[in-house]
Amino acid sequence: DAGVTQSPTHLIKTRGQQVTLRCSPKSGHDTVSWYQQALGQGPQFIFQYYEEEERQRGNFPDRFSGHQFPNYSSELNVNALLLGDSALYLCASSLGWVEAGAEQYFGPGTRLTVT
């Protein structure tokens, strides 16, 4: 059983560009959350998708948007990239919500570098 997979592994973009990161949840999982982990910091919650809708959102600007597809896979889009967007972007999936007892399984992350 494949766990959570993310693509690409690494990405280098220029300031002002747009980027799309992809996540495939663990088989059977229906909920996807995205986190940003800056170097030397803990992950920060960006948003969560459930039933193709954004269910919750952290303190991130509208430049960060996402989507969940009918097969539960998800995309994270970041527009107008800033140098400060350089980070490891983690996707986590669960069957249901963590508050209901579900465990989140994390992917290996996508390392985004903005130059």
In this structure, are residues 112 and 89 in contact, taking their beta carbons and an 8 Å threshold? yes
Which secondary structure element, helix H or strand E, spans residue 23, and what is its range?
Answer: strand 19-24
Note the residues at the interface with another protein (CB under 8 A): 3-4, 31, 33, 40-45, 48, 55-56, 58, 90, 92, 97-99, 103-109
For the bound state, the minimum distance from the C-beta of residue 107 to another protein, rounded and expressed in Å, comes to 7
71: tokens are 């097969």
Closer Cβ to another protein, 14 or 62, answer by number: 62
Q: In which residue are the tokens 């229906």 written?
A: 30
Burial of 33 (0-12, 13-18, 19+ CB in 10 A): buried
**Of residues 20 and 58, the one with the C-beta less far from another protein:** 58
User: Least Å distance between CB 7 and another protein?
Assistant: 15
**Nearest distance from C-beta of residue 80 to another protein, angstroms:** 24
